[in-house]
Amino acid sequence: MDLKKTNAAVTTITRDVDKLEEMSGNIYQTVMIVAKRANQIAVELKEELHQKLEEFSSYTESLEEIFENREQIEISRMYERLPKPTSIALQEFIENKLFYRIPEQTEKIHGIAENNNQ
């Protein structure tokens, strides 16, 4: 999934907790599912950003050259403008794009796989 093309909200919006609770059966499970996915997204974005910024790194640059690198600044700004990982994860959860398994309910798998098994 391309995280830069998500339709997650960039700003904070109010969510109906009851609807989120209905999706997994428990609001705390919903929070944990979204939190774990948000951590995965944050790691992916961080690794991607570091890979792009490594292209510009040089061990012989002076302090003045670091501050003047426009391409590097634009890449950083582009990542800053993206929705937060929590917003992306919550949007994926709402759109039923997440695959998750609840250990207590081993016979039932939620998310994308559930739709494919029908």
Domain that holds residue 103: 3-116
Q: What is the pLDDT of residues 55-91, one digit of tens each?
A: 776 665 565 555 667 777 788 888 888 889 999 999 9
The whole-chain average pLDDT of the chain stands at: 78
Count other C-beta atoms under 10 Å from residue 29's C-beta. Answer: 18
User: Per residue in 4-45, pLDDT tens?
Assistant: 667 777 777 888 888 888 888 889 989 999 999 999 999 999
Q: Which secondary structure element, helix H or strand E, spans residue 11, and what is its range?
A: none
If one counts the domains in the chain, the total is 1
Q: Give the 3-state secondary structure of residue 86.
A: helix
The answer to whether 3 and 88 have CB atoms below 8 angstroms apart is yes
